Structure 1
Amino acid sequence: LKARLIDTFKGLVAFPDTNRGWISIATESARKTIAEQSFDLVLTTSPPPSAHVAGRRIQVAAGLPWVADLRDLWSDDRFSTAPIWRRAIDRRFEQRTLGKADALVTVSEPLAEELRHLHPGVPTHTVLNGFDPDLVNPGAPLPDVFTITHTGTYHQGRRDPSLLFEAAGNLIRRGRLPRDRFRIRLFVKHEPWLLAMAERHGVTDIVESVPWGSFEEAIRAQRTSHVLLLLHWGGPREAGVVTAKVFEYLAARRPILVLGGGPGVLRDLLDDTGGGLQVNAVERLEEQLLLWWEEFERTGALAWQGEPERIERYSHIRMAREFASVFESALES
C-alpha cells in the first residue's frame, strides 16, 4: 500500500510524467545527432508522453516534420487514476504540444477519432500494433499438464482473472476437471491481491505465480501453453483498445481466451484471424474449458484454428508499410 501511495503521489506531481527528466537529455542528444547526420523526419512514440515533449522541441530546433505516435492515449488514458483537475491540465498541455505535430498515429480507428476531436487540425492515422515475424512459434512441445498462461498486465477490478478462477473452481468442485492436471500460470510483478483472489475461489493449488522475467521467458511460456489468457476491461471506452499483447499471442499460434470487454476492435481481430474467442459469462467459460479439456484428454493438444494468411497481415512488416505511408504524407505536407 505504501509503495502504491508513493507511485500515485509521483504520478500527480511529475509533469507531464515521471520521465520528465529525460526530456532535456533526449532533446540535446537529438540536436547533436542531427547536426552530424541528415534526417528527414522526427518520430516519437508514447507512452511516456514525455517523448512527445522532446519531439516538439526537436521539431522546432531542427525544422523537421514531426510524427507523434500514441500507442496509448495521453490525457484520455483509460487507466488514469488522476483527479479531474490534473487531467484537465494534461489535456491542455497535450493540445498545445501535439497540436503542432505534422501527423498523429494511434492503434485503432475509435482512438483515432478521439484524437481528431482533440486535435482537429492535425492529420490522424491508424496503425495497429503487430508482431515480429521472427517470433512465430516453430512448434514448441506442450506440457502434460493443461496450461493456461497470462503474460500481460493486471488492473485490479478492471483486468483480472476472477472469471477464470470462478469457472475453474466450479468445474473442479464438480469433479469435471482434475486439480493435478490443470494449471493457470500467471506472470506477475507484485500483485498479492491475485493470490488472495485465487484463495477466495478455491484454486490456489492450480494457480502458478511466476515472477516476471525477460521478454524471452514470456515468449517461451506462451509457446508452451495450451491456451493464452488476455484480460480485457469492459469499460465504455475499451472498444478501441487493442493491446500489443494479443499480437504476441497470435505469433505463438495458441488459442487465445479473452475475458471481459464487449464488441470492438479486439473482437473484430479475433474474428478476422480465427485466433481465439471472447467470453464474459462464467457458464459460457465453463463450457469452453470443458471442450478444451476433452480435446486435450483425447489428443494431448488443442487444434489451433488461426488463419495464417490473415494473421500474417498483422506483422511488423505491415506496420512498417503503414508508417512509411504516414511519413510520406507528412513530408509532402
Structure 2
Amino acid sequence: MNKSLILVTYYWPPAGGPGVQRWLKFIKYLSHYNYDITVVIPENPDYPVVDSSLNSDVPENISIIKVPIAEPSRWLGKLSRKRTKKLQRGILDKQPSWKEKIALFIRGNFFIPDARIGWKNRVVKKLRDRVNDSSIIITTGPPHSVHLVGLELKRMLSQLKWIADFRDPWTTIGYHKSLRLTRIARRKHESLEQKVLDACDHLLVTSEHTKQEFATKTHTPIRVITNGFDRAVNSMTQQPPGAFTMSHIGTLLSDRNPHVLWQVLLELTQENELFKSHFKLVLAGNGSDEILKSIKDYNLDSYLENHGYVKHDVAYSLMKSTQLLLLIEIDSKDTQAIVPGKLFEYLASRRPIIALGPSNAEIKTRVEKAKAGSFFTYDAKQDLKNHILSRFNDYLENKNTGIDATDIEQFHRKNLTHRLNQLINEVWE
C-alpha cells in the first residue's frame, strides 16, 4: 500500500508568482514515487497574480481537495482594489495613504498570523477524518496560518507525521515592521511560531540563514532544501544579440529600490557615449510605483523597457536573452536569509548575475559559490560601476559569454525532489 502524503498549500495554479513554484514542482516529481498524494488548496482564492500556464504542471495522478476560503482582501478591496492588490503582492509604499495605513493595521493586528487564518478551521474539519497514523502532512508558508492546520491536526493525532516548510522566515521577515504590530500582536506571532517550530516532526527551510535562526529557537530537526529550476540548462554560451540589456525579472518592492545602481547607470550614460547608445534597462514583474519614479528621477526612463508581470515561460526567455541579470535584495540585516527563487532560474539561464544586498547575505554565498556573477553591497558604488563598465567592454568585443556555473544541476527540481523524498522517508521512520 502506498503511503499517504497530504500537502496543504494556499498557492496553487492558477496562482502565479514565486509562491506557487516550489510545491507545484515538488508534487510534479513526487507523483512518480510511491505516494498517494492529496493536495489541499483554497476553492475560491483571491490570488494577486494569475498564470494559467502553470496548470500544465499539475500531475493527473493526484487528488485535489478544494476548501472554501473567506478572503478579507475582497472587502478590504472596497477601500481601494488597486491598493489592496499591491498589498497582496507585498508592494508596500514607503509613504502609504491613510487607507493603506488602516489596511496594514487591520492586517497586522486583527488577522494573526495573516489574512488567511479563517481558512484553518475549514481545512482541519475537512482533514481530521482523513489523516491517520500512516499519513504524513506537509504544510508550507507563507501564509504561515497554513502551519496552524498542521499544529491542530498534530494535537488531535499525536502520531501523525508533520513537516513544516518555511519558504520565508516568520517573525523576522522584513515586512513585519510595516504591519504596525502592537506589542500584544507581536507576542502572539512569536508564540504561534514557537508552537509550530516545536510541534512539527521536521522543519524544512530554503536557506542556511533561516536554519541557523530556527536552530536557536527549537530542537526540532531542520533540513535545507533550496528552491530551484525546472528547465534544461541553457546550452547557449555565446553572447546574446541586441542591446546591452540589464534585466531584473521578478517583483521589485519599494524597499528594494537600488539607488546606488540608478546613480551608477546615470553616470555611465552621461560619461560614456557608447554605453548611452547601447544600454537598455529591462524590468519584468510586479514593480512598485516608487521604483518607476526613481528610474524617471535618475533620467533613466528613456532606457526602460517595462514588461510588467509576464508568464513564467516568457520570464525565462527574457533571462536567456539579456546581457546581465540583476538580483536585488533589500539592504537590511532582516533580509540576509532571503534567497529569491529566481536566483536558481538565473543560474539555469547561464547569464552573468549582478547581485546587490546586505553584508553577509546568503545570495552572496550562492552567487559566488556557483561562479555565476558578482555581489556588491550598497556602499560599493565605485566597484559596481567598474564592474558594469568591464562587462560592457566585454559586450563591445562580443565576449560577454555565458557563465560556467558550477554544478547547477543540483538545483534542478527533479534532483531537489529526490532529496525531499529521502527526508519524507526519514520522517516516516
TM-score by length of 2: 0.69
Q: Kindly provide the CA deviation profile for residues 79-130 of structure 1, in whole angstroms up to 9, marking residues without a partner as x.
A: 322335222210012212332111112122331121122223x222222222
Residue in 2 that maps onto 1:221: 318
CA shift, 1:43, in A, is: 0.9
Residue in 1 that maps onto 2:309: 212
Letter of the 1:167 partner, please give it: V
Q: 1:31 to 1:251 in 2, by over 3 A?
A: farther
Tell me whether 1:148 sits opposite 2:246 in the alignment.
Answer: yes
Give the SS at the match of 1:211.
coil
Which of 273, 288, 294 pairs up with 1:191? 288
Output the CA distance in 2 between the equivalents of 1:100 and 1:39. 18
CA contact (8 A) 1:42 1:59 kept: no
Q: 1:191 to 1:78 in 2, by over 3 A?
A: closer
CA contact (8 A) 2:333 2:358 kept: no
Residue in 2 that maps onto 1:126: 224
Tell me whether 1:175 sits opposite 2:272 in the alignment.
Answer: yes
Larger RCO, structures 1/2 (Cα 8 Å, 6+ apart): 1
Residue in 1 that maps onto 2:9: none
CA shift, 1:266, in A, is: 1.9
Matches within 5 A, 1:1-333: 1-2=96-97, 4-5=100-101, 7-12=103-108, 13-31=110-128, 34=131, 40-61=135-156, 63-81=159-177, 82=179, 83=181, 85=183, 86-120=185-219, 122-132=220-230, 134-139=231-236, 142-157=240-255, 159-280=256-377, 281-299=380-398, 302-308=400-406, 310-332=407-429
CA contact (8 A) 2:283 2:305 kept: yes
CA contact (8 A) 2:229 2:413 kept: yes
Give the SS at the match of 1:72.
coil
Output the CA distance in 2 between the equivalents of 1:184 and 1:66. 45
Output the CA distance in 2 between the equivalents of 1:173 and 1:78. 35
Any gaps of 5 or more consecutive residues in structure 2? 1-95
Letter of the 1:112 partner, please give it: K
Output the CA distance in 1 between the equivalents of 2:241 and 2:134. 50
Q: Percent identity?
A: 23
Output the CA distance in 2 between the equivalents of 1:130 and 1:78. 23
Q: Kindly provide the CA deviation profile for residues 258-287 of structure 1, in whole angstroms up to 9, marking residues without a partner as x.
A: 012223432222222111110232211221
Letter of the 1:275 partner, please give it: A
The count of corresponding residues between Structure 1 and Structure 2 is 325
Q: 1:48 to 1:298 in 2, by over 3 A?
A: same
Output the CA distance in 2 between the equivalents of 1:116 and 1:23. 26
CA shift, 1:32, in A, is: 6.0
* Superposition CA RMSD, Å: 2.5
**Which protein is richer in helix relative to its size?**
1
Q: 1:174 to 1:265 in 2, by over 3 A?
A: same
Q: 1:245 to 1:15 in 2, by over 3 A?
A: same
Any gaps of 5 or more consecutive residues in structure 1? none
Q: 1:305 to 1:115 in 2, by over 3 A?
A: same
Q: Kindly provide the CA deviation profile for residues 25-70 of structure 1, in whole angstroms up to 9, marking residues without a partner as x.
A: 43344446548xx953111111110110112233345542001011
CA contact (8 A) 2:112 2:188 kept: no
Letter of the 2:312 partner, please give it: F
Output the CA distance in 1 between the equivalents of 2:365 and 2:329. 14
Give the SS at the match of 1:54.
helix
CA shift, 1:255, in A, is: 0.6
Give the SS at the match of 1:266.
helix
